[in-house]
Chains A and B, each alone.
Chain A
Amino acid sequence: MDGIHDLGGTQGFGEVSHKINSLKYKPVFHQEWEHLAYGLLFVGAGHMELFSVDEIRHAIERIDTRSYFASSYYDRVVIGTATLFVEYGVITQEELDTLLGSEFLLALPAKSGGRSGPVGSDQFEVGDQVTVRDEFISGHIRVPAYVRGKSGVILHRTTEKWPFPDAIGHGDRTAELQSTYHVQFSAKDIWGSSADEGFVVVDLFQGYLDMAPDQNVPTLTELKARITEGAEA
């Protein structure tokens, strides 16, 4: 979902409001109600197993853009959680409105039913050059737009597999399990001269990736082999 939540690389923001090591991080919550956000979320996602954490992420993404930006982090978690409890029919909008004394803001309905894991995706190895599929998905997806269509190198393949977010994020409990890959991109490749030198590593599900078309770019494994060959020659 090409939503406003997909902030990576967006320009126009000021400085981060923090100085290193300036906070004690206690107390954890700054307002007495804030523990309710994750607490109630995990009543639904953990204790009741009514919905997945993926669905919560998507529900928060579905919050009206202006409200998303105007609300605090824990407020958005509460709105997303309330939305799912209503969508699953556990409570009603009217009950929430009555308790609140005004209209309880919920996220907008999903524009998509999601999709199952793409078939035919390859398994990749550390050192492979891969390209992020150039596709536009109107439902939940765990690909930040800044790497769409970009190529990078695999640093790690996970030893566990998880449900494909584009499916389970829409409540599909039969979602295919996939490995994810830590794919390293050059910041300059993505944003050119407006980026600092350096790298970004994105943790991407197998179904988001293809082998890069141009494999002439030497992989790390090939580079190592060349160095070894050079040493032996």
Chain B
Amino acid sequence: MNETLGKPVATAEQRARALHQALKQKGLLPDGFLEGFTKSMEQDWDPANGGRVVARAWVDPVYRQLLLADGTAACEQFGYTGPQGEYIVALENTPTLQNVIVCSLCSCTNWPVLGLAPEWYKSFEYRARLVREGRTVLRELGEDLPADVTVRVWDTTAETRYMVLPHRPDGTEGWSQEQLASLVTKDVLIGIARPRVA
């Protein structure tokens, strides 16, 4: 136990386990529900999914058109829709436009395509600062954008769940979709990084 503001306060883990126990005692936890949901969070919803979507869009112009016109339908072709990924919009980067995603009010993220939000994305620092000084935040994170690149920040404030469609980097001509997908990291899909060819 910690002492905060003079009152004894339990730890976060103790609170979570107490709530779990309270619901369990009442028989409110359906068999396998938590196990199934945890599997989705840990395994099914993964940035590699977004990587496969982007790689396909880079090599298949018709699919790219679909992704930009109806992101939900395009992701559904791979089965990458679901909770927090029911209305998907893909944001197209160009050499002079960098789209970046945030949720300033909480943590909204396109779970099926990007995976759950990482800790830094949910931090007060990112939520407070990105909307006002996107270019500065990206530079601090390690992505120092050229001066001619416009930064466009997308605040996830309703039901749209975004993914960034990065610009395909030079030097990847003839690559397989698997090779291309490996360039598309979680940070690339959120928009804080551009794909890098080693």
Q: A interface vs B, CB < 8 Å?
A: 5-11, 13-21, 23, 25, 27-31, 33-40, 42-43, 46-48, 57, 60, 66, 69-75, 78-79, 81-82, 85, 90-91, 95-96, 99-105, 142-144, 146, 156, 158, 160, 162, 165, 180, 182, 184, 187, 190-191, 194-205
Closest 7 CB pairs of A and B: A8-B104, A75-B12, A18-B120, A198-B151, A20-B193, A203-B158, A99-B18
Q: Among residues 142 to 190 in chain B, which have CB atoms less than 8 Å away from a CB atom of chain A?
A: 142-143, 150-160, 185-187
In the complex, what distance in Å separates the CA atom of A7 from the CA atom of B132?
Answer: 11
Decide if B153 touches A201 in the complex (CB within 8 Å): yes
Q: A33-B17, A102-B1 are in contact. Are A71 and B22 (CB under 8 A)?
A: no
Q: A9-B128, A100-B18 are in contact. Are A20 and B122 (CB under 8 A)?
A: no
User: A28's contact among B8, B23, B41, B152, by CB below 8 Å, is which?
Assistant: B41
B87 at the binding interface (Cβ < 8 Å): yes
User: A13's contact among B4, B124, B141, B156, by CB below 8 Å, is which?
Assistant: B124
In the complex, what distance in Å separates the CA atom of A173 from the CA atom of B115?
Answer: 29
Interfacial chain B residues near A9, Cβ < 8 Å: 104, 128, 131-132
In the complex, what distance in Å separates the CA atom of A43 from the CA atom of B20?
Answer: 10
Q: A28-B115, A69-B124 are in contact. Are A201 and B155 (CB under 8 A)?
A: yes
- Residue of A with least CB distance to B139: A196
In the complex, what distance in Å separates the CA atom of A140 from the CA atom of B119?
Answer: 24
- Residue of B with least CB distance to A201: B154
Q: Among residues 29 to 49 in chain B, which have CB atoms less than 8 Å away from a CB atom of chain A?
A: 29-30, 33-34, 37-38, 41-42, 47
14 further interface pairs, Cβ-Cβ under 8 Å (given A8-B105, A36-B19): A11-B132, A15-B125, A16-B126, A21-B185, A36-B16, A42-B33, A43-B29, A69-B124, A91-B23, A99-B22, A160-B159, A187-B131, A198-B150, A201-B155
Decide if B157 touches A78 in the complex (CB within 8 Å): no
Q: Among residues 102 to 134 in chain B, which have CB atoms less than 8 Å away from a CB atom of chain A?
A: 104-107, 115-116, 118-120, 122-129, 131-134
Q: A15-B140, A38-B37 are in contact. Are A104 and B18 (CB under 8 A)?
A: yes
Decide if B141 touches A18 in the complex (CB within 8 Å): yes
Interfacial chain A residues near B17, Cβ < 8 Å: 33, 36
Q: A79-B15, A104-B18, A200-B155 are in contact. Are A42 and B83 (CB under 8 A)?
A: yes
Decide if B9 touches A102 in the complex (CB within 8 Å): yes
- Residue of A with least CB distance to B35: A39
In the complex, what distance in Å separates the CA atom of A179 from the CA atom of B15?
Answer: 38
Decide if B28 touches A43 in the complex (CB within 8 Å): yes
In the complex, what distance in Å separates the CA atom of A69 from the CA atom of B128?
Answer: 13
B136 at the binding interface (Cβ < 8 Å): yes
User: B128's contact among A10, A72, A199, by CB below 8 Å, is which?
Assistant: A10
The contact sample of 19 A-B pairs, CB cut-off 8 A, is A5-B105, A7-B105, A7-B127, A9-B131, A9-B132, A20-B193, A28-B115, A37-B16, A39-B38, A43-B30, A43-B34, A69-B124, A102-B9, A144-B104, A180-B159, A180-B160, A196-B134, A197-B135, A203-B156
In the complex, what distance in Å separates the CA atom of A48 from the CA atom of B83?
Answer: 15
Decide if A14 touches B10 in the complex (CB within 8 Å): no
